[in-house]
Amino acid sequence: AAGVIQSPRHLIKEKRETATLKCYPIPRHDTVYWYQQGPGQDPQFLISFYEKMQSDKGSIPDRFSAQQFSDYHSELNMSSLELGDSALYFCASRQGASTGELFFGEGSRLTVL
């Protein structure tokens, strides 16, 4: 069965650079969530989208922006990267009308040097 696909899986950037993470949800899933997980930390909610509209926002820095496109894939853009942005970034998807489980991708590991 198709799963949530995230790219790239690993990314190394310098401070003050820009990074873009991509998320391709499971087919027919119209809801996407983004989470940031630091080492030994719980996943921190960043932002969610439903039907290409931002639905809810969490602790997402102003340096970050995200959107969901017409094909439901989503991109997380991070600018002016800081050392503290180093983390695993997870994308999760589900069908918006349901209240069920989130399907997570394998994550994108961002390292800022």
Partner 1 sequence: SQKIEQNSEALNIQEGKTATLTCNYTNYSPAYLQWYRQDPGRGPVFLLLIRENEKEKRKERLKVTFDTTLKQSLFHITASQPADSATYLCALHPGYSSASKIIFGSGTRLSIRP
What is the contact surface with partner 1 in residues (CB under 8 A)? 4, 31, 33, 35, 41-45, 48-50, 55-58, 88, 90, 92, 96-107
Indicate the residue among 70 and 99 with the shorter CB distance to partner 1: 99
**Three-state SS string across 34-79, please?**
EEEECCCCCCEEEEEEECCEEEEECCCCCCEEEEECCCCCEEEEEC
Indicate the residue among 14 and 39 with the shorter CB distance to partner 1: 39
Shortest Cβ distance from residue 72 to partner 1 (Å)?
12
Indicate the residue among 83 and 97 with the shorter CB distance to partner 1: 97
**Beta carbons within 10 angstroms of residue 77's beta carbon:** 13
